[in-house]
Every structure is written in structure tokens, then in C-alpha cells.
Structure 1
Amino acid sequence: MSQSLKIDAHQHFWKYDSHKHAWIEDSMSVLKSDFLPKDLIPLLEKSNLDGCIAVQADQSDEETEFLLDLAQGNSIIKGVVGWTDLQSSQLETKLETYASRPLLKGFRHVLQDEEDDAYILRADFMKGLKLLSKFSYTYDILIFPKQLSTAAEAVSQLPHQAFVLDHIAKPSIGGNDMETWKKGIKQLAQYENVSCKISGMVTEAKWGTWEYNDFVPYMDFVLEQFGSDRLMYGSDWPVCTLSGSYDAVQSIVTQYISKLSRTEQASIMGGNAVKFYKIQ
């Protein structure tokens, strides 16, 4: 498949369930609804995007099956990042059973919610991560800035594993601690097997009142550290709607990368995702 495809490398689907999606607080009531491919398709078409990567929002094997079923019936979903228990003694067997599901591209664990900032370095978790590369699965790193150093330590031990950092590690946009974030990003970006999604920024800024220039210093730094060949655009829809429309979120990135060459723009807006997730 052509690397000229334009891909939203990070979004979610769910059938809202108050128990399963307990993380959706009352202040996020706009998310207390179903979000399915039929809702995303018009947004992708309007934005001239060819498809998306559906990422887990619930930590269960059922979530992975739910997303794979959606992908099977909707050609806009070019790949799924699911969840599985990386610490399970049965992990290798589980990964073998997934071999017949080519739309499953990788996995993610919600590390940002773990009380232990060094959770990724737990022996059983690292053992699970090591198995992923054997089956050519990717791993999405979902963390806060304070966890960047331990993520870098884990990555340093797994040079053959393909990693991507979600949401530029969720810095407080416009906050006072940009230096801690920059130090951690620099640590992680030194490893060539790590990419970064320019996604999730609007929800880390002042909801609905942010300005384009709020994001420029952060995009400047990830571009400097990762380069245009390791960055991917992602909307984080529907979570992004807490703070901005789909169009507005995309325009932050497209406006920023307009200064780059056409080749670099095409890479960030889809080419890198096609290569990273091995989209066929």
C-alpha cells in the first residue's frame, strides 16, 4: 500500500458503559456517548484522511476483540492497537493465537494510571515487552512526563522493539515545568526505535480557550528530537472533543508542518504510520 496514505494514527471507539469507562468523569460528559466508525467516517472524509489506527480505551481482551471486529467491518480502520496482559504466563500462547489477525498491529497498557512510576520496568512487564518483537507487534507508550526516564530505561534494553510515544507524553501545555518534560523527551528520543505521536495536546491545554501558539514550543522540540521521520499525526478523537473540534485539532499540526517539505509533511500525516504499523 502506498506510503502516500493520510492516516489518523491515534483515535478511539467505544460503546459507552459507565463502569467500563469510569475514567470519563462528569466534567467529560460530552464523552458519555457511543463513538463508532459511522461517527468518524465523515470527519476523515472532510479532512481528506484515508484511514485511522484504533487504539484501546479499556484494559481487557474483550476490548481488543471489539476493535478487531470493528476493523473487520470498516475499511477505514487500517490497524488496531489492543490490550493484552503482558505479565501473563500465557502471553506467548495468546500472541500466537493473534497471528491470524493481521489488523492487530500492537498493544498498549495505561501506564499513566499506575501508581508505580517505574511500572514499565517490572520484571514480568519487561518480559512481556520482549516477547512483542518476536511477533513483530508494536507498543504504544502512554505516560506522563514524570515517567519518561523509566520509559527510556526500558527502551534502552529493548533495541529491537518498535515503540511509539503517545500524546508527546502529556505535558501540561503552557505549564511551568516544560524543562522536566524536555529532559525526558531528549532521553527517550535518543533511541531510534522510538517514534512519537503529535496527538492529545489540546486536552493538556486550557480546554476550549487554547491558541495555536500554545503548542508551537512543544512541536518545535519533538520535531528537533525525533525528526520528521519519527513523528505521526493523531487526533485522539473523540477525547479531543473535550477541548476542540476534529478540524481544529488537525489544523494545529497541518499549520505547523506547512513549513516543512512536502515529503516531510506526507511522512508525518501518514507515511510514518504506514511504515510503523505495517499497514497493508
Structure 2
Amino acid sequence: MRLDAHQHFWQFDPQRDAWITEEMSVIRRDFMPADLQPLLETRGIDGCVAVQADQSLTETDFLLGLAQQHDCIKAVVGWVDLRSDNLSTDLQRYVANPYFKGVRHILQAETAGYMTEDQFVQGVKKLKDHNLTYDILITESQLDEATQLIQLLPEMPLVIDHIAKPNIQQASFAEWAKQMEKISRFDHVAVKLSGMVTEAGWQSWDRDDFAPYLDFCMEHFGAKRLMYGSDWPVCLLAADYGQVHDLLADYIASLSVFEQDQIMGKTAADFYSIKV
């Protein structure tokens, strides 16, 4: 099964979605499964993982509802308040749903120390009790703290979204690589090869811009811990769906069929327990 391990749906609300600024006009509209399905089919992708974009239980309900209506959605990474006294109740509300596979919190927007607070860490640990995963959304400046979080969560299924968002436009690499090498030593951590075009120059990126990052991820994580993600529709700020897909597909074309299959679907299927 070929999977897109990271994309979003929303019905645009200018207040709720204030992060989508005027300069992002191309994505200031609704994006729904009917918009994505033909894009997946064009590139031979069998399904996708829908990831939360808003931090509310309403968002989780919205994505799970879409999953029940559209076969292309194979899994949902929703949101629950991991620091809430009601966390156990909230999880019980969702764990029976076969599409509910994991949780994400927008850590990139939080202040230093948030992800290592005991209440947050204990909340993430509760996910493992329900066989759920956790997506780590950070920028490269948070990698040291993320490493501390990972150390507190041994064997917890974790994935780094968007290769930790290095500043590709400024060719930021050395410090990112130093921190990511430390994370690569933890076998229970995977990485999504996603979100890269929007960390480069939106209108000026070149394929060569991404090669050092992809080379590093292949060397240190290997195909079994890497998964393709489009980050659609956010990617539209810098590239269309086909460009994002082809960027990675062309890069891995020289790899073995086994490695290509891992990156383009099997890693994600295994991580999110998606039946193939």
C-alpha cells in the first residue's frame, strides 16, 4: 500500500485558522477529501493519514467523520489535551474508533520547557497504554528539548514531522544534523519526509536544496524509519502535490524496491497500524 503519511483537511475559518495569513492566500479556502482524492490517484497513492491542524476535540471529531465517509483516509492523527485532567475520558471517547491512530500537539508554537513538563509527558505516556502514536511537530530550534522528551518516552512510537523543520532557505544544516543524529540513536523514533518545500524559498527552491537533508535522513534513519508525507494543502505555498511527490520519488528511485516501498507506504502502515 502506498500512503501519504501527512496531510490536512479544513473548512477555512479566518478566526480559528488565523495562522493562515494573507500572504498564504492560496490556502485560505476549504480543502476536503474530494480535492485530494484525484491528486492521490494521479500519483498512485492508495490512501492518506489525516493530521490535525486545529487544537480542539471538534477537529478530531471532524477528521474521524471524514474518515468514515471517505475510503482514501486510512488513519487520523487527532488532538486531545494531553495535560487535561479529563484526558482518560477523552481518550476513551476515541480509542474504539478504528481510524483514530495517534495524537499531535502543535509544539512548535509552545514556549521552552513545555514538552518536558511532567503533566505533558505523562499525557503522552497514556497514549501508549491505548496503542496510540505521537507526532512531534517542532522546529529545529526545539530539537534539544525534543531529545529530552524522547528519552522520557522509551519504546513509545514517535515520529518527527517535517524532518523537524530546518531552515532550508538559509541552508541551515550543521546544528540540525547534530541534533538529529542524536535522535536517530533511538530506534522507536521515525521521521516524516514532509514539509520541506515550505521551509525552503517558496518561489525559489531547487531540488538540490533538499539533497543534504534527504541524504542525512537515509544514512541515519534508514528506509524502515522514514515515511513520505505531502503536507498538502500547506505545501501549495511552495509546490503542487505532484511536485512534492515527484521530488521524493525521484530521489529514492535509485534505492531498492524494498526501500522505496518502505518510504512510500510500509513504514507509515506499520507505524499507524494501518491494515493493508
TM range (shorter): over 0.9
- AA aligned opposite 2:79: W
Q: Which runs of 5+ in 2 are unaligned?
A: none
Matched, 1:40 2:41: no
Among 182, 204, 212, the residue aligned to 1:209: 204
Percent identity, please: 49
Q: Please, what is the CA RMSD of the aligned residues?
A: 0.9
Query: 2 CA distance for matches of 1:252 and 1:275?
Result: 23
2:195 partner SS:
coil
The corresponding residue for 1:101 is 97
* 1:207-229 CA distance string (max 9 Å, x none): 12211111000100111111110
Q: Does 1:89 align with 2:85?
A: yes
Match for residue 5 of structure 2? 9
Structure 2 distance, partners of 1:56, 1:211, is: 29
Q: How does 1:92-131 map to 2 (within 5 A)?
A: 92-114=88-110, 116-131=111-126
Instruction: State the alpha-carbon separation in 2 of the partners of residues 176 and 269 from structure 1.
Output: 26
| 171-180 or 16-25, larger mean C-alpha shift | 171-180
Amino acid at match of 1:139: Y
* Deviations 1:2-36 (CA, angstroms, capped at 9, x unpaired): xxx00000000000000110000111011110000
Match of 1:21 in 2: 17
Pairs within 5 Å for 1:113-262: 113-114=109-110, 116-262=111-257
Distance in 2 between the 1:23 and 1:67 partners? 19
Deviation at 1:148, TM superposition (A): 0.8
Where does residue 76 of structure 1 map in the other structure?
72
Query: Which 4+ runs in 1 deviate beyond 3 A?
Result: none
Please report how far the alpha carbon of residue 97 of structure 1 lies from its aligned counterpart in structure 2 after TM superposition.
Answer: 2.3
Q: Is the 8 A contact 2:171 2:209 kept in 1?
A: no
CA-to-aligned-CA distance 1:118-153 (integer Å, 9 cap, x gap): 311011101101111000110000001111111111
1:265 maps onto 2:260 in alignment:
yes
**Separation in 2 of the partners of 1:101 and 1:133?**
16
**Contact 1:152/1:187 (8 A) holds in 2:** yes
Is the contact made by 1:201 and 1:215 (CA closer than 8 Å) also made in structure 2?
yes
| Structure 1, unaligned runs of 5 or more | none
TM-score (norm 2): 0.98
> How far has the Cα of 1:117 moved from its partner?
2.5
Displacement after TM superposition at 1:176 (Å) = 4.6
- How many aligned residue pairs are there? 275
